[in-house]
Structure 1
Amino acid sequence: MSILVWPPVSDADLSKEIESTSARELEWLLSALQDTLASLKAGLEECAALLAPTEPGSTLVLSSLRSENLKGYITRLGGRIVKGDIQLRLPSLPPPRGQNAYRLSVSSQPTAPTIVLEQLTTTRTLINACLDVVDATRWTGDANNANFISGQLKLLHDNIQEAKAALKGGSEGQKGKTWYEDPLDSNVFDPPLPGNVSFHLSISEAALLLHVRTLEAAYPITGTNTPLSTSSGSYTGFSLRERLATALTGGRPAFHDEAHEVFSYRGQEVRVRDKVRVESQDPSLISAMAKLGALERNIALSRRSLDVVMGHDSDDL
């Protein structure tokens, strides 16, 4: 079958027709993208609602696998933990007299510090920024300016990718301080958290991840790389009860990935005696991450379509 145009068209006229067709196609796509932006806004608002501090919050069960080391629950309200009751049964943390577990209860006092999940704060900030971008693109920008729309779509795409990364655990640039760099205020709990216990909450794969560690003072190292004797160890900052617990369990080897590391915690060198890791799935966070993934794909498709019509290379998408 012939693909020749009849009657014949000159190269100049053919170029004009191609430009005219491309211009009409671009005009149609820019108009269609306004509907896409409206749909994106609705999806972003759904994500924001899932992460909003709405009463009564999300109560999540905490339970260690195949052991009784940790049992309890916490209640998340937006990016804050407002309630919690956890029972610990660890060899290096003897329970109070007459009890069979060590209890950690989130303080209900109005003046008590709050556990804040920075990754959720980051996610909400990025989602709100996306909503601002959508509004600016639809109402204050030039809807017929392809370069402007392309730039706004890229900004949306980048922000949504970062928001999704925060719910997955955080990119390298998003990851906050570690458990030993930014210890939790002991007054978050009532009674206060013992000095030899580290309580660290974070987000991983849209789930709440809790690490509880019991600590012991690390022995100073001699010039021959041989640890000094137990009697020369520094226990500054640990109570008599905590030092006694360390002494009673001193001969028991620790079995976890941090057993042979030394950390600087609250101004002194420590080792991790016992470590418990508990993961609790959060339905609201899972739903929010799934919606962000769908929005990310939608924007990527819109960017690719716009780049094709504009004649740009979209291999980086």
Structure 2
Amino acid sequence: MSSAVWPPLPPDQLAREEEASSARELAWLLSTLQENLRALKSGLEECAALLAPTENGSTLVLSSHRSEALKGFVTRVGTRIVKADIKLRLPSLPPPPQTSSSPTPPYYPLLLSPSPNAQDLFLAPLITIRTLINSCLDLVDIATYTGDRTNAGFISSQLKLLSDNVKEARWLLKAEQQPPWTNPTTNVPPQAFTPPLSPSLLLTLTLTDAALTLTLRTLSPVTSPSDLTSLRTRFLSTLSGAKTPTHDEANKIFVYEGRQVRVRDKLRVESQDPGLMSVMAKLGALERGLEMCRRALEVVMGGPGEEFV
């Protein structure tokens, strides 16, 4: 099936008419994209509201799978953990702290310090995500109000920046960002809890698939050649199939704060956060919408649009 202009036009006039038609199509698309940008802004504002501090926050239950090793909950308000009440039962933990007014509890308690001088417990990925969303809102305002909305190149560049920011924000929610735990700054500050965490107890908080992920490790020093021999023996028995390690770091030696240590127990618990799940779903929809807008503009501007297929 083919189309033709009747009556036939001279080649030079036909070229001018085609150019004029393409210009009208581009102008129409740029006008339509302004509506898409307003819808995008609305979606971004919904994401920002879900990450903003609220009165009650989100209370997330934490429980180890098929064991009593860890039970408790944490409360997230915006980008901060404002409350935590966790009970641990691991053989490698130090004795629970004692008080004169009550007997020693049968578990090791982790209570977030209520002191106003206590160090705030922030979730770093959420701070970055909130910054990216605010940057997107600024980009939409520029493309809608202060920039040249009739300039296809300008709008294309704004759409690319928006797409990059939304993709990064969604990736931070989905893929776990876990720097090496052997860097002390990766772990929760001991002073965030009352009483402060034992030096042999490390706690790391990350995000995975919009879930709060808590990883707990208990450390013991490698102080003598017999410790190294014991580790080699366990490693060889694992290779022979005689014994299965309790966790993936059981047969390794690490350097933490200048000392050689081994990980005696490692526990990982996840708790889905409904608010963060909603943010991730909205960001995914916004990402797909931006890709469609970019592809349409690329095609009308004369490009193949294959990058966004």
Same fold (TM over 0.5): yes
Q: Could you say which residue in structure 2 is the equivalent of 1:179?
A: 181
Q: Could you say which residue in structure 2 is the equivalent of 1:6?
A: 6
Mapping of residues 1-317 of structure 1, within 5 Å = 3-96=3-96, 98-169=104-175, 175=177, 177-181=179-183, 182=185, 183-219=187-223, 227=228, 255-317=246-308
Identity of aligned residues (%): 54
Q: How far did residue 229 of structure 1 move?
A: 8.3
Q: What's the TM-score, normalizing by structure 1?
A: 0.86
- Matched letter for residue 228 of structure 2: P
| Cα displacement string for residues 68-96 of structure 1 (whole angstroms, at most 9, x for unaligned residues) | 00000001111111100100000111543
Q: Could you say which residue in structure 2 is the equivalent of 1:243?
A: none
C-alpha contact (below 8 Å) 1:119/1:169 kept by paired residues: no
Q: In 2, distance between residues paired with 1:307 and 1:189?
A: 53
C-alpha contact (below 8 Å) 1:219/1:228 kept by paired residues: no
Q: In 1, distance between residues paired with 2:298 and 2:244?
A: 60
Relative to structure 1, the CA distance from residue 82 to residue 158 in structure 2 (aligned partners, 3 Å threshold; closer, same or farther) is same
C-alpha contact (below 8 Å) 2:188/2:205 kept by paired residues: no
Q: In 1, distance between residues paired with 2:201 and 2:168?
A: 32
Q: Secondary structure of 1:227's match?
A: helix
Relative to structure 1, the CA distance from residue 3 to residue 295 in structure 2 (aligned partners, 3 Å threshold; closer, same or farther) is closer
Relative to structure 1, the CA distance from residue 221 to residue 11 in structure 2 (aligned partners, 3 Å threshold; closer, same or farther) is farther
Aligned length, in residue pairs: 289
| Cα displacement string for residues 178-217 of structure 1 (whole angstroms, at most 9, x for unaligned residues) | 3221232211100110111001110011100001111111
C-alpha contact (below 8 Å) 1:137/1:152 kept by paired residues: yes
C-alpha contact (below 8 Å) 2:178/2:206 kept by paired residues: no
C-alpha contact (below 8 Å) 1:254/1:273 kept by paired residues: no
Q: In 2, distance between residues paired with 1:218 and 1:316?
A: 53
Structure 2 alignment gaps of length 5 or more? 97-102, 232-242
- Matched letter for residue 264 of structure 1: V
- Matched letter for residue 271 of structure 2: S
Relative to structure 1, the CA distance from residue 20 to residue 63 in structure 2 (aligned partners, 3 Å threshold; closer, same or farther) is same
Relative to structure 1, the CA distance from residue 298 to residue 3 in structure 2 (aligned partners, 3 Å threshold; closer, same or farther) is closer
- Matched letter for residue 215 of structure 1: L
Q: Secondary structure of 2:41's match?
A: helix
C-alpha contact (below 8 Å) 1:130/1:156 kept by paired residues: yes
Q: Secondary structure of 1:270's match?
A: strand
Relative to structure 1, the CA distance from residue 265 to residue 15 in structure 2 (aligned partners, 3 Å threshold; closer, same or farther) is same
Relative to structure 1, the CA distance from residue 263 to residue 55 in structure 2 (aligned partners, 3 Å threshold; closer, same or farther) is farther
C-alpha contact (below 8 Å) 1:215/1:274 kept by paired residues: yes
Q: In 2, distance between residues paired with 1:161 and 1:84?
A: 31
C-alpha contact (below 8 Å) 2:121/2:192 kept by paired residues: yes
**Aligned-residue CA RMSD (Å):** 2.1
Q: In 2, distance between residues paired with 1:264 and 1:49?
A: 42
Q: Secondary structure of 1:296's match?
A: helix
Q: In 1, distance between residues paired with 2:124 and 2:49?
A: 18
| Cα displacement string for residues 143-184 of structure 1 (whole angstroms, at most 9, x for unaligned residues) | 1000000000000000000000111135xxxx4633221232
C-alpha contact (below 8 Å) 1:254/1:274 kept by paired residues: no
Q: What's the TM-score, normalizing by structure 2?
A: 0.88
Q: In 1, distance between residues paired with 2:113 and 2:272?
A: 23
